[in-house]
Amino acid sequence: SQKIEQNSEALNIQEGKTATLTCNYTNYSPAYLQWYRQDPGRGPVFLLLIRENEKEKRKERLKVTFDTTLKQSLFHITASQPADSATYLCALVQSDTGRRALTFGSGTRLQVQP
């Protein structure tokens, strides 16, 4: 069956360190993978998109990698700040089924300690 797996346990790190979150998928051939941030009681906010033919994408302190062999995407936040504390969701679009919308993982909660 198709699965998108993110670590359900919260990730706790110290301010200034690099946070690394993992998204693994099974039985998908995604054309794109996206990362979103969600704060409690709010809607998700888009952060980054990476295509299947891209290895890495950066935006300010954020970096996303995409390994279609490992079927994994890693999301990094460098020089993390308490304001980065939130739940981070990965999402993908299957490339060959005609599905038109994103399928989401359950998210990983990041807590950055000051």
Partner 1 sequence: ETGVTQTPRHLVMGMTNKKSLKCEQHLGHNAMYWYKQSAKKPLELMFVYSLEERVENNSVPSRFSPECPNSSHLFLHLHTLQPEDSALYLCASSQERPGAAMNTGELFFGEGSRLTVL
Summarize as ranges the residues that interact with partner 1 (CB under 8 A): 4, 8, 31-32, 34, 36, 41-46, 49, 89, 91, 93-95, 98-107
For the bound state, the minimum distance from the C-beta of residue 73 to partner 1, rounded and expressed in Å, comes to 15
Between 20 and 32, name the residue whose CB sits nearer to partner 1: 32
Report the run of H or E that residue 108 belongs to, with start and end. strand 108-113
CB count, 10 Å around CB of 27?
9
Between 43 and 114, name the residue whose CB sits nearer to partner 1: 43
Q: Distance between CA atoms of 41 and 54, rounded to whole angstroms?
A: 33
DSSP secondary structure, 46-69, as one string: EEEEEETT-SEEEETTEEEEEETT
Between 23 and 77, name the residue whose CB sits nearer to partner 1: 23
AA letter at 112: V
For the bound state, the minimum distance from the C-beta of residue 40 to partner 1, rounded and expressed in Å, comes to 10
Q: What Å distances lie between residue 59 and 15, 48, 75, 76, 106, CA to CA?
A: 19, 8, 11, 10, 23
For the bound state, the minimum distance from the C-beta of residue 103 to partner 1, rounded and expressed in Å, comes to 7
Between 44 and 75, name the residue whose CB sits nearer to partner 1: 44
For the bound state, the minimum distance from the C-beta of residue 84 to partner 1, rounded and expressed in Å, comes to 19
